[in-house]
Structure 1
Amino acid sequence: MTISYFGYGSLVNTATLPSHTQVTPGTLTGWVRQWSISGRETAKRGVCSLCVVRKEGAQIRGVLASEPRDGLARLEQREYMYDKVSDVGHEFRADEKGGPGPQDMFLFQAKAAHYAWGDAANPILQSYVDCVLTGFHNFWGEEGVRHFFDTTEGWHVPILADRAAPQYPRAIVLDPHVRDLIDGCLGELGVTYLKDA
């Protein structure tokens, strides 16, 4: 028995998934990403994470991930600020063959208690952005990174510059080329940076 889910943020980076997870890149229709889940605690502060909301006509890239059902408890613990939204397989199309996802495919959407735009007290971790966009770059190259920026709402939320001392628990070693691409895109958006205290 397996579970199947759509990853649209850190779950796109296969380095954060169990090694036996099968992933298929593709597109989900009718949803948009936002920086609008706040309150996740680190050792120092609250932080802002990604979530998705329904939006007619929108499309986002991500991955269909499948793993043994015994991994569900671990996955739900990782995504404890989210609820599972079931039966989204018909909204997914794989990149290569264009087929839909499984009927029981689900995704994680913010719990109502945590659905709020980030702010200075709950900033985006730069180390989290780096992890997410490394995943997008691994699947779709520069086009995938730019797609992420174009299809994610909430870049008014400040970013905590924690790259030198990452606070994100699944931080990765960032390739210099990907770092420059990310920083260039963030510069184009005119994001606000906070210094890590």
Structure 2
Amino acid sequence: MTLHPPYFFGYGSLVNTATHDYLDPQPARLRGWRRSWCHTPLRDVAFLTVEPAPQVEIDGLIAAVPNADWQALDAREFAYDRLPADHQVRHALPDHTEISFYAVPAEAQNQGSHRHPILLSYLDVVVQGHLQVFGTAGVDAFFASTAGWDAPILNDRQQPRYPRHQVLSATEQQLVDQHLTQLNAQVLS
């Protein structure tokens, strides 16, 4: 019997604690996976997933799922499969803690496109969370360890389409924009 509630490992918008109210959030690292932008027929836009990458570790956040009630989180992450990650996550919790993460099945992943772009309002939330938890070095690591930046990015900051969008400071927006410029990302108006 587990003494602790199960935890999830979030690597995208779940790193930003303003987008959820799960308890005991704390930094962690996932081994053997890297972030990637993808699109599935289940969503209109491209979003983050993870794909196997044996030599890679990515930063993220773990948080408790009280009473093992996964229903709300599974609904939020409806385009993903929930996978066990107990031995792939480095964290400060007791060793017997159950941890899961979400990934889009490989066969359901498609490249982002003009019809299915990355929403800048979503990317802003992800970067803001990484900045708050890991600082600017963590933001640098996020951009460097994420694949799929050739997908176009829709600038929807004035009218955010991402349902959990957050207000960014001018400094946070500049940080996102600077990284997109360095990547030669295609930003659509």
Same fold (TM over 0.5): yes
Query: Where does 1:6-155 land on structure 2 (aligned, <5 Å)?
Result: 6-18=9-21, 20-41=22-43, 46-69=44-67, 71-86=69-84, 88-94=85-91, 102-112=96-106, 114-155=108-149
In the TM superposition, what whole-angstrom CA distance separates every residue of 1:7-32 from its partner, at most 9, and x where no partner exists?
000000001111x5211102111100
Q: Distance in 2 between matches of 1:77 and 1:163?
A: 25
Amino acid at match of 1:26: A
Percent of paired sites with the same residue? 35
1:126-169 deviations in Å (ceiling 9; x for gaps): 00000011000001111111110000000000000101110000
Stretch of structure 1 that moved more, 20-29 or 180-189: 20-29
Unaligned runs of 5+ in 1: none
Say which structure is richer in strand: 1
SS at match of 2:172: helix
Contact 1:6/1:62 (8 A) holds in 2 = yes
**CA separation of 1:124 and 1:40: change in aligned 2, threshold 3 A:** farther
Q: Distance in 2 between matches of 1:28 and 1:187?
A: 27
User: Which amino acid in the other structure matches residue 134 of structure 1?
Assistant: Q
Q: Which amino acid aligns with 2:102?
A: F
- Structure 1 residues 8 and 147, CA, compared in 2 at 3 Å: closer, same or farther? same
Give me the TM-score of the superposition, normalised by structure 2.
0.91
Q: Which residue of 2 aligns with 1:181?
A: 175
Q: d(CA) in 2 for partners of 1:158 and 1:100? A: 41
Q: Is the 8 A contact 1:89 1:100 kept in 2?
A: no
1:52 match: secondary structure: strand
The structural deviation recorded for 1:3 is 2.6
Deviation at 1:114, TM superposition (A): 3.4
Aligned length: 186
- What are the within-5 Å matches in structure 2 for residues 154-173 of structure 1? 154-173=148-167
TM-score for both structures, normalised by structure 1 = 0.88
